[in-house]
A and B are shown apart, each in its own frame.
Chain A
């Protein structure tokens, strides 16, 4: 009995996951709500991946959308050429029905390539710190977006499409809301893995770097390797979120991964508070819902949201949660929540 209570939190996440899937498969939730849920999932991955670097490690990376773009393009090109008839390779390279199994693999490959692109930021970060590193990340974002803009193979600035056909190919095998399933799965896995990582002895190294880099080095933390791991981990997860984002929308163009997208991630992380994973998740949910609610205001939306955030900063200068997690606010939650 005790064991069940301790794991109640995890069980309830699982139950929620199954309920949403069943409702979506039965057609009770319409496509709009499903899309919003998927955007929430994508934003959770995007925000919590940035919170590794900006929150836990205390660096200021503001070009996160660049890695999202890498993941989005790599996984889209892969899935379109592998599973559908397309302009690049003609007939599909693999039987389309395999897409059911290989879809997560394709997304993961996108993440891995994005992690390698993360080296672009990780290697300069050995020598440079705070604001100089911020500049490098902005420059990397610009570089990646212009690079894609100039690649005629993937459509240049016109964008790249055809991912919907992959989803249809998957649905032809067994009708099931695959993309919803994978977005939610990846979101839950991401939060779980990041939580395990930053609370492990090894992962505490990045928190040590945030507090004091020189002291961390003296305490025998290999700061360069820690930074490499953190940047690659974070950009890899951003790549995964990009791949999912591309497949949810079914169309990508370089313009949607501009600095503005990076700003969205920054908003989510700092609204949550630096170094609060639960906060990132909550603020990703709030932010996505806010965006949808404010849709009728059109352009004024982007005046209202920054205003709200500035107001929030005035009243809670450390963000919604600061560096605390939910159980720190509601100690009774600890009973239902065993999570090392």
Chain B
């Protein structure tokens, strides 16, 4: 009982880490642009595929003989995937979102465009790679640390640490740096900010780079932990992560981070104590009730509306 409880907590921490990392990406873009970037889950999926392609490429052409440490491969893969995912994120921003913003389209039309970009990424991937799932190559040898019946793999530790490190990193950027201050300023008042000489578009591009590289970290780590990739994996996990971010209080990094872990815990606990069929039902009911009681989420601040 006791050991299974701790085992579940470890699993929930790992599962929640993924939700948190994705939710942070949603939260960044939402905080600055007030745009639900529905394509974010699919950027995460693309990142996992990019990791898969790059590692396969490495094994095929560069490290043919093998015998290279898995950590080295990971250290090479992560920046490369982060770079390409950021390029994708910025490309989407430049081509799809910015023209609409500049034309002064209604906010919801930008959201719909994001939804469409997500569909294109999913189905383009499906058309390109076919419907069969891909197996992410195992680069790091799993070693199990176990004490008194609780098993922890090194991967789980890596994922959990990665989530906390990225959170601390983002928190530092948003709160301590000048560009972070600009990001907060834009979300506070987007009309006055350009008058203060802040390059709004540059800050937005930076936000997309941050968000996409976060999705890249999550995607590669997800591929390593659950090595089956399919084109629709980003959609469901993205929607859920967004719901988690909202429950935490979107627009605040702490809220998104907390919400991701909350959803992870709820899901793992439901699976281990009830049944995995009821996972979505119960977890969404709980989130719904939280939102009804506290409509702005845990960290959200209710804005008073004026006429």
Measured CB to CB, the nearest residue on chain A to B296 is A132
**Which stretch of B62-70, B100-108, B150-158, B197-205 is in the interface?**
B100-108
**Chain B residues, CB < 8 A from A305:** 119
- Quick check: is A207 within 8 A (CB to CB) of the other chain? no
State in angstroms the CA–CA spacing of A54 and B106 once bound together.
12
Stretch at the interface among B45-53, B79-87, B120-128, B217-225: B120-128
**Residue pair A143, B250 in contact (C-beta under 8 Å):** no
Among residues of B, the one whose C-beta sits closest to the C-beta of A266 is: B112
For the complex, is A325 an interface residue (Cβ under 8 Å from B)? no
Closest B residue to A271 using CB positions = B112
Q: How far is the CB of A25 from chain B (nearest CB, A)?
A: 39
Neighbouring B residues of A309 by C-beta, 8 Å: 112-113, 116
- One of B1-9, B11-19, B165-173, B238-246 at the interface: B238-246
Q: How many residue-residue contacts, CB under 8 A, span A and B?
A: 129
0/1 string, B242-273, CB within 8 A of A gives 1: 11001100100000000000000000000000
- Cα–Cα distance between A149 and B296 once the two chains are bound (Å): 30
Min CB gap B282→A, angstroms: 9
A127 near B292 (CB under 8 angstroms)? yes
Please, how many angstroms separate the alpha-carbon atoms of A318 and B112 in the complex?
Answer: 12
Which of A12-20, A198-206, A208-216 is near enough to bind chain B?
A208-216
CB distance from B176 to the nearest CB of A (A): 28
Chain B residue numbers with a CB within 8 Å of A127 are: 292, 295
- Mask, A209-241, CB within 8 Å of B = 1, is 000111100100000000000000000000000
Question: Across the interface, which residues of B come within 8 angstroms of A142, CB to CB?
Answer: 239, 280-281, 284
In the complex the two chains form, what is the Cα distance from A230 to B126 in whole Å?
Answer: 38
Q: Known interface pairs A138-B243, A213-B305, A318-B109. Does A132 touch B291 (Cβ–Cβ under 8 Å)?
A: yes
Residues of B within 8 A of A138 (CB): 239, 242-243
| Residues A317 and B103 in contact in the complex (CB < 8 Å), given A147-B281, A299-B126, A310-B96 | yes
> Is the beta-carbon distance between A267 and B112 smaller than 8 angstroms?
yes
CB-CB contacts below 8 Å: B39-65 with A: none
* B-side contacts of A301, CB under 8 Å: 123
| Complex CA distance for A139 and B127, rounded to whole angstroms | 29
B24 / chain A contacts, CB cutoff of 8 Å: none
Q: Which one of B100, B122, B295 lies within 8 Å of A317 (CB-CB)?
A: B100
- Determine which of B105, B116, B277, B295 lies in contact with A149 in the assembled complex, contact meaning CB atoms within 8 Å: B277
Judged by a CB distance under 8 angstroms, whether A336 is at the interface is no
From B113, B127, B280, B305, give the contact of A143 (CB < 8 A): B280
Tell me whether B285 is interfacial, beta carbon within 8 Å: yes
Q: At the interface, is chain B mostly helix, strand, loop or mixed?
A: helix
* List of B residues within 8 angstroms of A214 by Cβ: 305-307
* Contact bitstring A284-312, B, C-beta under 8 A = 1, else 0: 00000000000000011111011101100
Chain A residues whose C-beta falls within 8 Å of the C-beta of B99 in the assembled complex = 314
Q: Contact string, B111-142, partner A, CB cutoff 8 A, digits 1/0?
A: 11101110110111011000000000000000
Instruction: List CB contacts (< 8 Å) of B276-307 with chain A.
Output: 277-281, 284-285, 287-288, 291-292, 295-297, 305-307
Contact B287 A302 (CB under 8 A): no
Known contacts A142-B284, A317-B104: A135-B112 contact under CB 8 Å: no
- Across-interface contacts of B242 in A (CB, < 8 A): 135, 138
By a CB distance below 8 angstroms, the chain A residues around B250 are 131
A134 with B36: CB separation less than 8 A: yes
Q: A135-B242, A135-B291, A150-B278 are in contact. Are A306 and B119 (CB under 8 A)?
A: yes
Chain B residue with minimal CB distance to A140?
B288
Q: Does A317 lie within 8 Å of B243, measured CB to CB?
A: no
Given contacts A131-B36, A299-B126, A306-B117, contact A143 B281 (CB under 8 A): yes
Question: Among the listed A143, A267, A310, which residue makes an inter-chain contact with B285, where contact means beta carbons less than 8 Å apart?
Answer: A143
* Contacting pair B280 A124 (CB below 8 A): no
What is the bound-complex CA distance between A331 and B122, given in angstroms?
43
Interface check A146, CB cutoff 8 A? yes
Whether A124 contacts B127 by the Cβ 8 Å rule is no
Q: A319 near B278 (CB under 8 angstroms)?
A: no
Please state if A139 and B288 are interface contacts (CB–CB under 8 Å). Answer: yes
A309 to B115, CA, bound (A): 11
For A213, the chain B residues whose CB sits under 8 A away are: 305
Q: Is A9 an interface residue (CB 8 A)?
A: no
Whether B106 pairs with A318 at a CB distance below 8 angstroms is: yes
Q: Which residue of B lies closest to A54 (CB)?
A: B108
Contact residues in A for B116 (Cβ distance below 8 Å) = 267, 306-307, 309-310
Establish whether residues A299 and B123, one from each chain, have CB atoms under 8 Å apart when the complex forms: yes
A89 within 8 A of B: no
Residue in B111, B120, B288, B305 whose CB lies within 8 Å of A124: B288
Instruction: Point out the residues of chain A lying under 8 angstroms from B126, CB to CB.
Output: 299
> Given A299-B127, A303-B124, A303-B127: A270 and B108 within 8 A (CB)?
yes
4 more contacts with CB within 8 A, not counting A150-B277, A302-B123, A317-B103, are A142-B239, A213-B305, A314-B100, A317-B106
- Which A residues form the contact surface with B (CB < 8 A)? 54, 60, 123-124, 127-128, 131-132, 134-136, 138-140, 142-143, 145-147, 149-150, 212-215, 218, 259, 263, 266-267, 270, 274, 299-303, 305-307, 309-310, 313-314, 317-319
16 contacts across the A-B interface (CB closer than 8 A): A124-B288, A131-B36, A136-B291, A143-B284, A146-B277, A147-B281, A218-B307, A270-B109, A270-B112, A274-B106, A299-B123, A300-B127, A302-B119, A306-B119, A310-B96, A310-B120
Q: Which 7 A-B pairs have the closest CB atoms?
A: A317-B105, A306-B116, A302-B123, A128-B295, A146-B281, A146-B280, A139-B284
